[in-house]
Structure 1
Amino acid sequence: MKQLLLIIVFAGVLISCKNSGESKKEQDGSTVSEAVESNTANQTETNYVTIDSDEALVAASLMAAPAESRDGCKVIGYNMAGEFVTLREGDNEFIVLADNPQQSGFNAACYHKSLEPFMARGRELRAEGKTGPEIFDIREEEAKSGKLDMGKPGATLHIYYGESDQYNPETHEVEGAHYRYVVYLPFATAASTGLPEKPLGSNHPWIMNPGTHKAHIMISPLFKDKNE
């Protein structure tokens, strides 16, 4: 009789565990399903479109500037017709160089206005057909002689770049774009700044072109996780 009772009790425990396990699996499966549906919904909510107007070009390019300064930035660059123009006047310390719509991907820059002589000289020499090394050498000589104004030490260039030319018209963000920063310190060296000449990590600052007119601190933040 005792053996029969033990068998009945044991069978009951097994049935209870099986039902509990099945219930947990159903709950876990439901949770996973809800998470997948939520992620899918978030992905489909983003409406990326092609930058196809000067207004969209300006809006996306302004993402290169600090958020609090975007309203007052001057915007220059190539318009959709391929002309280099002032796309928007500004009244603060920043100039935004818009993405060139004739080139693949996206690359906009925002820099302190004291850097404009240096930037403008580069555009002028490039328009004359000078190569990268030639432009470097010409500006190096002009900066050393005092002919070329290199701006305020520490003046910064903000770069917003990516492989896509699609942007979100609601947030103005370009799909998959990232930031990089360049802090100009003409003729600075590793010894004068304490920075290495090569990055110690993927997001560590370092000094590039040390000892030249184009010496600058490179800062490349880690890429933002697309799933965040």
Structure 2
Amino acid sequence: MKRIITAIFLSGILISCNSSDKTKTTIKKYSETETVTESISGMGKQLKAIDTDEALIATALMAAPEESRAACKVIGYNMAGEFVTLKEGDNQFIVLADNPKQTGFSAACYHKDLEPFMARGRVLNAVGKTSQEIFTIREAEMKSGQLKITSGSTLHIYYGANALYDSETSKVGGAQLRYVVYMPWATAASTGLPNAPVASNHPWIMNPGTHKAHIMISPLSEEYKK
């Protein structure tokens, strides 16, 4: 059984914006009775392992705007390791649940029009393409019109170092939100945004001039918020 480690605060700017870019591969194995009694990020409650499909759904929905969660579609790997639809939905959002076979926590919410682009990335990743190869292939497909990203489409990422949650609120211990606003082919000159972060929580443009150009807004660090 994997030893649960207490959370560490994330600080500074996190520049990775793809929800599937978690590079850790340790498989999480928890029993139903495992809890943590220490306070994580000031929550002061016992946190449980995310060890059921219901918990995967509940925590994934924290990436979506609160008023939209009930009608969101949730997809992702279930506890059996199968990529499935975990919850049906009929609004504009698709939520990608945390992968229980990877350490840490990362769930994402995005507009349903982004699903072809996201799905293409998952397919290419599954056949062993590297991050750079995926970038190059999707850029070519964007230029040819095979793929499309509507400018202004937003990705909400709920992430943290732990995969432990409060079963009453569904909040993940120490998790934070960051936002990606896609603006294909945009540059610093066309938007007036800097090419690098100026300070925590300030918008900047990442991957300028490419199909994956986007405004990145990362959270304030815990130290900054005090």
Alpha-carbon distance between aligned partners in 1 of 2:59 and 2:43, rounded to the nearest angstrom: 20
Q: 1:195 to 1:136 in 2, by over 3 A?
A: same
3-state SS in 2 of match to 1:123:
helix
Alpha-carbon distance between aligned partners in 2 of 1:213 and 1:61, rounded to the nearest angstrom: 27
Amino acid at match of 2:113: S
| Corresponding residue of 1:101 | 100
Identity, in percent, stands at: 69
The alignment yields a C-alpha RMSD, in angstroms, of 1.7
Q: Could you list the per-position Cα deviations for residues 195-217 of structure 1 after superposition, in whole angstroms to 9, with x for gaps in the alignment?
A: 00001112110000001000000
Alpha-carbon distance between aligned partners in 2 of 1:136 and 1:68, rounded to the nearest angstrom: 33
What is the deviation of 1:147?
Answer: 1.1
Question: Which one of 184, 187, 190 corresponds to residue 186 of structure 1?
Answer: 184
Question: Is residue 121–residue 134 contact of structure 2 (8 Å, CA) maintained in 1?
Answer: yes
| Corresponding residue of 2:207 | 209
Q: Could you list the per-position Cα deviations for residues 147-183 of structure 1 after superposition, in whole angstroms to 9, with x for gaps in the alignment?
A: 1122x21000000000111100000000000111000
Bigger proportion of residues as helix: 1
What is the deviation of 1:139?
Answer: 0.4
Unaligned runs of at least 5 residues, structure 1: 1-39
What is the deviation of 1:94?
Answer: 0.5
Alpha-carbon distance between aligned partners in 2 of 1:165 and 1:142, rounded to the nearest angstrom: 35
**Aligned residues between the structures:** 185
Amino acid at match of 1:172: S
Unaligned runs of at least 5 residues, structure 2: 1-38
Q: 1:214 to 1:45 in 2, by over 3 A?
A: closer
Length-normalised TM-score, structure 1: 0.78
Q: 1:44 to 1:137 in 2, by over 3 A?
A: closer
3-state SS in 1 of match to 2:128:
coil
Length-normalised TM-score, structure 2: 0.79
Q: Could you list the per-position Cα deviations for residues 15-37 of structure 1 after superposition, in whole angstroms to 9, with x for gaps in the alignment?
A: xxxxxxxxxxxxxxxxxxxxxxx
What is the deviation of 1:224?
Answer: 5.1
Question: Which one of 196, 201, 210 corresponds to residue 194 of structure 2?
Answer: 196
Structure showing greater relative contact order (alpha-carbon pairs closer than 8 Å, 6 or more residues apart): 2
What is the deviation of 1:223?
Answer: 3.6
Q: Could you list the per-position Cα deviations for residues 114-140 of structure 1 after superposition, in whole angstroms to 9, with x for gaps in the alignment?
A: 111110100011111100000000000
